[in-house]
Amino acid sequence: MVGRLLPWLLGLLPLLAWARPDPFPEEVLLACLGVLRGLEVQAVYQEGEWRYLVLGQEKPYLVLALRGGRLHPPPGPLRGRRVAWRPGALGLSLARWVHRGPGGYRCFLLQGGRVVGVLRLDPDLKPLPLPQELP
């Protein structure tokens, strides 16, 4: 039984190695860090107890959700009404690894050791704007 399964399992190893996020060159992490340091709150939307923060530079790059004073990955699409917000320090940091996928790289933003957002870079290490229109 093991003799028949072993070649099949060994055939899966390259796929598993490809699917996991690997550390990449420092230049990718440095590009992500440069974008992270330049992020500004461009808009804030409120729906119930959730606040959606649109972060970017010239264009919006990502959306984070704020509830109970803690950042979270957005629970769904951006919605609600636009509100005024006085920004404070968000306490974001960068994970030490990135994921290379079709169309570029994904850098993971952390707050308190938890992933709260993903910053996307194209193959030339330029930030990619959000794919959807803001309400």
Domain boundaries, the chain: 24-121
pTM: 0.70
* Element (DSSP H or E) covering residue 41: strand 40-47
Write the CB contacts of 49 (distance below 8 Å, at least 6 apart in sequence). 67, 68
- For the chain, residues with pLDDT lower than 50 are 2-3, 5-6, 9-10, 12-18, 20, 22-23
Question: Structure tokens of 134?
Answer: 């803001």
Question: Structure tokens of 42?
Answer: 């461009």
